[in-house]
């Protein structure tokens, strides 16, 4: 058995023992034409929304950045 195959099996077994399940997350392809423009439009919508601003302010008030470098 190849070393990488064995390492993969060991990793999956370790994750299963820890009650963790692998998940695949889809993300936008930033190289797609128009992606940057779409992202800019969506950012503007979020920034213009009063509820989004309130939530961000509340999150920042609760955040602890003391150990950031």
Distance CA 65, CA 45 (A): 27
Instruction: Report yes or no: 36 and 30 within 8 Å, Cβ to Cβ.
Output: yes
For position 28, what pLDDT does the model report?
A: 85
Packed helices 35-48 and 50-62: angle between N→C axes, nearest 10 degrees: 80
For position 2, what pLDDT does the model report?
A: 76
For position 35, what pLDDT does the model report?
A: 93
Going from the first residue of the chain to its last (69 residues), give the mean pLDDT of each consecutive group of 10, the final group possibly shorter. 87 94 90 94 93 93 90
Distance CA 14, CA 1 (A): 19
For position 1, what pLDDT does the model report?
A: 62
For position 3, what pLDDT does the model report?
A: 86
Distance CA 28, CA 43 (A): 15
Q: Where are the domains of the chain?
A: 3-62
């Amino acid at each position: 058995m190849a070393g990488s195959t064995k390492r993969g099996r060991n990793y999956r077994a370790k994750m299963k023992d820890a009650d963790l399940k692998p998940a695949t997350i889809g993300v936008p392809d930033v190289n797609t034409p128009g992606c940057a423009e779409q992202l800019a439009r969506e950012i503007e919508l979020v920034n213009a929304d009063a509820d989004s601003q309130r939530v961000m302010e509340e999150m920042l008030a609760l955040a602890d950045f003391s150990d950031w470098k």
